[in-house]
Amino acid sequence: MGARMCWCRDCQRIASGSATVNVLFPEEAVTYVGDIVTFAMIADSGNRVERGFCPNCGAQMYSRTIEPAGLPMRVRAGTLDNPELMPPQAIIWTTSAPSWAQLDPALPHHPKGPESAPLNR
């Protein structure tokens, strides 16, 4: 459905200070083999989200919105069998990016979350 870089504070913590790169899929299109540990939280957007981790190595695999329902699943690009599947098409939560962040000027920048960054379908 698309791909974005996210600079929200939650993603900066996940990515050790950088942005996450997320490829967007309908939930029914995503399949994992093996165990995944999950936890739920309230994201910077105010949405209730679930994050999935590999219990063996700790890698974060995905994030999905529980409430409100119907939003795409965000799969961390680095965990895909083919991380070249789709490059980022936009950068979101740029207002949260640190001053030293390298924001690609060729991509659209959105100050807040996904509602301000429509998906290219």
Q: Which residue is it, tokens 């995944």?
A: 36
CA distance readout (Å), 68 to 9, 54, 59, 81: 20, 25, 25, 29
Instruction: For residue 33, give the amino acid letter.
Output: V
Pairing of strands 90-92, 2-6: parallel
pLDDT (average), residues 14-32: 91
Question: Would the pLDDT of 23 be above 60?
Answer: yes
Mean pLDDT of the chain: 88
The number of beta carbons lying within 10 Å of the beta carbon of residue 19 is: 24
Q: Give residue-wise pLDDT tens across range 72-121.
A: 899 999 998 888 889 999 999 999 999 999 999 999 999 988 664 444 33
Stated pTM of the model? 0.83
Q: Please, where are the H alpha helices in the chain?
A: 9-14
Structure tokens at 65: 């919105």
